[in-house]
Structure 1
Amino acid sequence: MNKRLSIIPLLAVVLLLLCSCGGGSTTAAVSGGDTVRFKYAERLTVVKYDGYTVATLADPWNKGRTLHSYILIPDTAKAGTQTDGKGLTESLRAQTGAAVTVVHTPLKRTVVASSVYCGLLISLGKGDAIRGVCDLKYINQPWIKEQCRLGRIADCGDASTPTLEKIIDINADAILISPFQNSGGYGRLDEWGNPIIETADYMETSALGRAEWMKFYGMLFGVEDKADSMFNDIEKRYNELVKLARTSTVSKSVLVDKIAGPVWYVPGGRSTLGRVIADANAEYPFSTDNNSGSLQLTFETVLTKAGNADVWLLRYDGKNPLTYPTLLSENQGYSQFKAFKERQVYGCNTSTSTFYEDTPFNPDLLLRDIIIITHPDLSGLGSTRYFKKVAK
């Protein structure tokens, strides 16, 4: 029979969740547990206790509230500290009003609903834990495609509506899926009963803050030490590039992406991409915006605000390389932008590139590209990896 956790750690966890809704960077250590310190992540708090760990995700859209709490119980927990988590879960949910989920670690048969985490898990040496994926058509990792072809990884449908029957059929122990504001839940997945890991790292306000979440994912998959080491290497490379960019004598401004239908989605000034541009010592027309997500703007608004940007970086999904005539065929108004006129447009074809699999947890790779493009006076960095200059 499973034993209950003692009342002292239980009260400590309740106090922790009451104090930590705002994110990991401001949380004080709680008696009875060891708080994991994060240098950059602002929306994640982790406290370790004897035999279990509590991870708290701050709600990105409602300041001061908790999005989700996870009680991580390792399979190797000492006898007497193991628990089914039922009593603890009920107490925490009553105190915070947020979802609380027990996760038995390490995860071994997981569905990954975003290509971002496929790349991360492969880098952490846990590709074998991926047993299902969503949005396979958007995944460019050769290994994932091959495993799907061989039937070792299941195609679980669209990320917005995963196929529950397929998830049950492969006996998945959890699903990693991105939360969205006012999403209304996860449909039939809410009836599943196994852990739904809400991957809210994309709402962090810095590139290193998002990348630091790999420590949490390392805990979930039993490779915490490797995740810590990998992040330390990435942090070192990223900060070295930031220092290098500050030595440049060239200053260029950057426009991002293009209009989609009636809306131009522009990264907010506090988004990870907005902050990478700033760290590259480049100017960003929307840098004063405090949004950590995307802004939904009209063509006219972007033209007014960023029409004189020196460089235009855009991500696109196409069978053929992007050209200037192609851009004009999509919208004649693009000809009004300075970067278009001066042929300073750089495209990243996400249908063939591993941009989305690589850069969220390796932001140094993206930073390097932007520095190369915006600081031609700096040498020794080689050629860009993702963004290529559009042919005339």
Structure 2
Amino acid sequence: MALQQQFRAALASLILVFSLSCKEQKQPDLPLSKESITQIKYAKGFNINTFDTYTVVEVKSPWPGSEKTFTYALVPKENLATITLPSDAFDAIIATPVEKMVLTSTTHIAPVEALNELEAIVGFPNSDFISSPKARKLVDADKIKDLGMNEKLNTEMTLVLNPELIVGFSISDDNKAYHVIKTAGIPVVYNGEWVEQTPLGKAEWVKFFAPFFQKEKLGDSIFASIENNYKKATELAKNAKNQPTVLTGGLYKDVWYVAGGESWMAQFLKDANADYLWKDSEETGSIGLSLEAVLEKGKTADFWFNPSAETSYEELGNINPHHKEFDAFVNKNIYSNAIEKGEKGGLIFYETAPQRPDIVLKDLIHILHPELLPEHQLQFIKPLQ
């Protein structure tokens, strides 16, 4: 995604209140012996069921408020000649392992890279904003083609690439480019990682990608390591001697959006043993407030995280002089996830942090409780310049 798209996707994931709708799952009328259900512990948006000769991936929440469960059958290529599945039972039937795919969100890059399958990516919209050094080499070598904008995907070029599937990022089922591509016989598989509201829930979507490459064991192993690291960091944070107060967010067109108490960011702050000032709110997205309301409640906050796109105190002070009234500004305790950018300007946080919540949590613990992780080097969240 382009920088604007990254901010828009992030803002959408904060602003929207996610009412996820779970519909009755499709079940093909086939003998399904020796069923194995992949254990999904934190993610709410997908399931994986493995049978003797194929795997079923169900995506329940591709976007907020989705009323449909999308069901995909993954069939090993060696089984294609010996198995017949009813096409009306699935939204797509895909042969695995996949060797050519198009991704549509930078958050898809990190899990595919973790599975060592970057070379399977043949196309991407706004490829300039891919930040992964390994993926950038493929872009520069013209092995990953630029496909325009996600909302207006270059369908002609996509069809020329002839990928085996497109992993779609969308805020609704009204993407005309996707409809054209599906009509041409190329499956579009929706990914709803961005809808998840917990750090480990987002990271668990590496298991979603794994069966497309027949790498389920590797996907499970990758996530188990992340989960273990995250839990250890959470336990470590409990040893903190104090619980600093925290303010989040910033102004956007005269409205200050703070993270809701049930949001992704709020969960990070809770696990980092911080006293988040809006922790008691029930919003899973963001809360739109006036500057005056935020100043009244957050003026004395010890720390301020993610003040919109500004990356320096000078920028923040110039854009609105009232920012200088916050104690966190005066004491230089403001930290941002927008400082680290890729070669072409993509925000590394939005590309990689969903896949590595353990590192995000360690960043926060190092900032809030430096005595607990004194040797940790900040990777995603860094001090304003």
Same fold, TM-score > 0.5, yes or no: yes
- Secondary structure, aligned partner of 1:176: strand
Cα shift at 1:137? 3.3
2:68 paired residue number: 66
- Which sections of structure 1, spanning at least 5 residues, go unmatched? 1-15, 21-29, 90-99
- Alignment of 1:371 onto 2:365: yes
1:274 paired residue number: 266
Cα shift at 1:373? 0.7
Between the aligned partners of 1:291 and 1:102, the Cα distance in structure 2 is 37
Out of 256, 259, 272, the residue aligned to residue 264 of structure 1 is 256
User: Once the two structures are superposed, what CA deviation does each residue of 1:36-94 show, in whole Å capped at 9, x if it has no partner?
Assistant: 2212122222222222222222236448x4342222222133754343x42423xxxxx
Please give the TM-score of this superposition, normalised by the length of structure 2: 0.82
Between the aligned partners of 1:172 and 1:39, the Cα distance in structure 2 is 31
Q: Which moved more, 1:329-338 or 1:209-218?
A: 329-338
- Secondary structure, aligned partner of 1:219: helix
2:36 paired residue number: 34
Cα shift at 1:169? 1.7
Between the aligned partners of 1:187 and 1:297, the Cα distance in structure 2 is 35
Out of 126, 135, 140, the residue aligned to residue 135 of structure 1 is 126
1:387 paired residue number: 381
Between the aligned partners of 1:239 and 1:313, the Cα distance in structure 2 is 22
Corresponding letter in the other structure for 2:162: N
Between the aligned partners of 1:289 and 1:296, the Cα distance in structure 2 is 12
1:335 paired residue number: 324
Contact 1:253 1:284 in 2 (8 A): yes
- Alignment of 1:107 onto 2:59: no
Contact 1:267 1:274 in 2 (8 A): yes
User: Once the two structures are superposed, what CA deviation does each residue of 1:339-364 show, in whole Å capped at 9, x if it has no partner?
Assistant: 11221112331434622222111110
- Secondary structure, aligned partner of 1:359: helix
- Secondary structure, aligned partner of 1:66: coil
Query: Aligned pair in 2 of structure 1 residues 170, 297: CA closer, same or farther (>3 Å)?
Result: farther
- Secondary structure, aligned partner of 2:99: coil
Between the aligned partners of 2:308 and 2:114, the Cα distance in structure 1 is 25
Contact 2:362 2:376 in 1 (8 A): no
Cα shift at 1:113? 1.2
Contact 1:204 1:271 in 2 (8 A): no
User: Once the two structures are superposed, what CA deviation does each residue of 1:246-270 show, in whole Å capped at 9, x if it has no partner?
Assistant: 0111211222232233443433322
Between the aligned partners of 1:159 and 1:292, the Cα distance in structure 2 is 25
Contact 1:256 1:314 in 2 (8 A): yes
Contact 1:249 1:377 in 2 (8 A): no
Please give the TM-score of this superposition, normalised by the length of structure 1: 0.81
Query: Aligned pair in 2 of structure 1 residues 218, 305: CA closer, same or farther (>3 Å)?
Result: farther
1:255 paired residue number: 247
Contact 1:317 1:351 in 2 (8 A): no
1:231 paired residue number: 223
Query: Taking CA–CA contacts closer than 8 Å with sequence separation of 6 or more, which of the two structures ends up with the larger relative contact order?
Result: 2
- Secondary structure, aligned partner of 2:73: strand
Query: Aligned pair in 2 of structure 1 residues 191, 279: CA closer, same or farther (>3 Å)?
Result: same
Between the aligned partners of 1:126 and 1:283, the Cα distance in structure 2 is 40
Query: Aligned pair in 2 of structure 1 residues 265, 56: CA closer, same or farther (>3 Å)?
Result: farther
- Which sections of structure 2, spanning at least 5 residues, go unmatched? 1-21, 27-31
1:356 paired residue number: 350
Contact 1:173 1:195 in 2 (8 A): yes
Matches within 5 A, 1:289-368: 289-314=281-306, 322-348=311-337, 349-352=339-342, 354-368=348-362
Between the aligned partners of 2:288 and 2:77, the Cα distance in structure 1 is 45
Q: Give the RMSD, CA atoms, in angstroms.
A: 2.7
Cα shift at 1:296? 4.1
- Count of aligned positions: 351
